[in-house]
Amino acid sequence: MTIRLHDTRAQQLRDFVPLDESNVTMYVCGPTVQSGPHIGHVRAALSFDLLRRWLERRYGRVTVVRNVTDIDDKILANATQTDPWWALAYRMEQEFAAAYAAVGILPPTYEPRATASVPQMQELIQRLIERGHAYPAADGSGDVYFDVRSWAAYGELTRQSVDAMEAAEDADPRGKRNPQDFALWKGAKVGEPADATWASPWGAGRPGWHIECSAMARRYLGPEFDIHGGGLDLRFPHHENELAQSAAAGDGFARYWVHNGLVTVNGQKMSKSLGNFTLAADVIRGLSADARGAHDPLVVRYALAAAHYRSSLDLSDSSWAEAESALGRIRTFLERAEHAVARNDARRRALQEAGATTPGEAPGDTVEYIPLIPDAFARAMDDDLGVPQALAVLHETVRRGNQAVDDGDDPAAERALIEVRAMTAVLGLDPLAPEWTPAGSDTKTTAALDALVQAMIGQRAQARADKDWPAADRIRDAIAAAGITLEDTPDGTHWSIDV
């Protein structure tokens, strides 16, 4: 077993070797909660949800930290007198949580807010000043900057030289030694809310964006951890600055840097600043009562997961249609295979009660071991989280399983069923899993539909018994017109939704 991940810092695939095989550690940059999530945010979180699930499969325990940036220039800019910054941040944080949960993204082990770790940020800043890598502004503004020219390795993550970089725009340039120096602490400005500032040795103010993640990662995972994840757009300046300030402070920090590709619109990245974003609430059914044309959350999860995590993803109407069709094939097979397994179990019980054995089995034989995850699926996932190749294995198993059902080969159908359930569980795509099963009123609707269909199946069976073939055909046609497929088997007729 060797997992390979593409490490942005090395710019190549590397064998993944965790610091502690009994506890893989991962920090993922979470949202800046100035407004609600767009579908690109959901794709980013899902990428690392898939990685986390596979690492858990391989290693057992994975500690995941995903932060919430709840103090930021954009949050302050979007706040109003009736909707203060802290209220806005909390409300938007809840919207992100709802979107993530809707598509089955597992909650992180820890989800710290930046405002809860200000003392740790100040401690890190002080350490950088003492080491000669940061300086308070000489103008008394209260700003503190990281001195990029004091750290020779600055630019190593994105392979840039300082001279080729544009000026850092994350803070007022007042008091800077170099245009590329970035803010560690931002002195309070006139007009900013008083409750958005903290006391510090350099004056009242608030932390810069980059220092927040360095301090929180260290607080919850220690000075060195396994994986740092985030969107491709965060490589510079955010992750470059995180790496520089943490390393300059003496921390090993992240051993692997993993970045997911972006959701694009006509080849351009989806971004709030560009105004070309699609809100998650407009895409995921159930997040907004006003969203017309929103999709089933499982369909959204499949569509976002189907492309390789490092590739750009241009979503269109066909993306949702293809995802819905693929899930329909999986669901139909699972339902058919479960009927076949039930039939096979009944056959085994009947033979056992009669003192006989299943054909091909001798008394005392043990049941054949069925590996839960096919080797080809595991190889694809081990190779830089190759979900597209893993899905190909999944669908080939579905095809093979359907053929087994058609051939009446119940043991082969059962084997395929076990493998498909295991693969879809790892990917969070099992359409029969409890989290995707309709509850409450939907359950009553399903029960009512089953009663009606079963009644029509009974009427059809009676018509066939009476040799009234035209009536039997009319009933079957009426059922088919409703999008329902019937399957006649030796132990009865079963129905499923035709998708």
Query: For 145-152, what is the mean pLDDT?
Result: 98
Residue 176 lies in a domain: no
Asked, for residue 183, whether it belongs to a domain, the answer is no
Sequence letter at residue 139: D
DSSP-derived letter for residue 232 is: G
Is residue 413 included in any domain, yes or no? Answer: yes
DSSP state letter for 145: E
Domain of 22: which CATH number?
Answer: 3.40.50.620
How confident is residue 473, by pLDDT bands cut at 50, 70 and 90? confident
Over the stretch 157-182, which tens digit does the pLDDT of each residue have? Answer: 999 999 999 999 887 787 899 999 99
Cα–Cα distance for residue pair 241/32, rounded to 1 Å: 17
Burial class (CB in 10 A: 0-12, 13-18, 19+), 481: exposed
Q: Which residue has the higher pLDDT, 267 or 43?
A: 43
Q: Are residues 445 and 464 in the same domain?
A: yes
Which of 315, 349, 383 corresponds to the end of one domain? 315
Looking at the fold, whether 230 and 303 belong to one and the same domain comes out as yes
Q: What's the confidence (pLDDT) of residue 364? A: 43
Residues 154 and 265 in one domain: yes
Residues 412 and 491 occupy one common structural domain: no
Report if residue 174 sits inside a domain.
Answer: no
Alpha helices per DSSP H over 60-117: 73-78, 85-102
What pLDDT score does 448 carry? 66
Residues 402 and 469 placed together within one structural domain of the fold? no
Give the pLDDT confidence of 329-358 residue by residue, as tens digits: 999 999 999 988 887 666 666 666 676 554
Alpha-carbon distances of 374 from 58, 87, 118, 377, 390, rounded to whole Å = 14, 48, 47, 5, 10
Domain boundary among the residues 254, 285, 315 is at 315
At residue 320, the 3 state secondary structure works out as helix
pLDDT tens digits, one per residue of 356-408 = 554 444 444 444 555 689 999 999 999 999 999 999 999 999 999 999 999 99
Q: Apex CA 427: angle with CA 425 and CA 433, to 5°?
A: 35
237 upstream amide cis, omega within 30 of 0: yes
Separation CA 201–CA 135 (nearest Å): 12
Cα–Cα distance measured from residue 185 to residue 125, given in angstroms and rounded to the nearest whole number: 8
Residue 440 — pLDDT band, cuts 50, 70, 90?
A: very low
CA distance 31 to 39: 12
d(CA 77, CA 491): 66
Q: What tokens appear for 481 in the block?
A: 């017109």
Confirm whether 352 is domain-assigned: yes
Q: Are strands 134-136 and 62-66 parallel, antiparallel or unpaired?
A: unpaired
Residue 416 is part of a domain; what is its CATH number? 1.20.120
Percent of the chain at pLDDT exceeding 70 = 89
Classify residue 279: in a domain, yes or no: yes
By the 8 A CB rule, do 137 and 143 touch? yes
Identify whether 194 is part of a domain: no
Q: Are 23 and 33 members of one domain?
A: yes
Q: How far apart are CA 44 and CA 305, in angstroms?
A: 10
Same domain, 40 and 61: yes
48 lies in the same domain as 117: yes
Note the pLDDT of residue 293.
80
pLDDT digits over 211-220, tens only? 999 999 999 9
Residues 431 and 450 in one domain: no
Residues 414 and 495 occupy one common structural domain: no
Give CA–CA dist 436/387, Å, rounded: 20
Residue 272 has pLDDT above 70, yes or no: no
- My answer on whether 425 and 454 are in the same domain is no
- Same domain membership, residue 445 and residue 433: no
Domain that includes residue 385, residue range? 329-437
Q: How many domains does the chain have?
A: 3
What confidence score (pLDDT) does residue 145 get? 97
For residues 230 and 128, is the Cβ–Cβ distance under 8 A? no
Question: Where among 292, 315, 338 does a domain terminate?
Answer: 315
169 within a domain of the structure (yes/no): no
pTM, to two decimals: 0.85
Length, in residues, of the chain: 499
